[in-house]
Amino acid sequence: MARKLVTAEDFQKEVQRRVEAHPQVAEDQAYEDTRAVGGKAEPVILVAPPTPLRGTDSTGCNWTLDHYRGVATLQRSAIVSAAITEVMAQLNLRQ
């Protein structure tokens, strides 16, 4: 399957969208939204822009992700890792 080419910002938004759509995270986020100051909740995670690779790896991916932050639990960390793995199989960075 050919990967869709996206910008680093689009990549970040897609990972964020997938994480927030996970049922456990959505439930947690609904609770956090009720406590948000000024009616605005913080994002569940903050994903750094992906790092472009020179060429592609063995799977055809042309980026890597070194880190993300804002993950409070190991369960949520697994959810974020799964979202990144899904995106890695579907998207490449426009360079």
The pLDDT of residue 27? 74
Count of beta carbons in the 10 Å neighbourhood of residue 83:
23
The pLDDT of residue 40? 55
Domain span at 13: 4-93
The pLDDT of residue 30? 59
Q: How many domains does the chain have?
A: 1
Cα–Cα distance measured from residue 8 to residue 58, given in angstroms and rounded to the nearest whole number: 21
Answer whether 47's CB lies under 8 Å from 12's CB: yes
Block means of pLDDT (10 residues each) for the chain, 95 residues, are 89 88 76 53 67 90 80 73 91 90
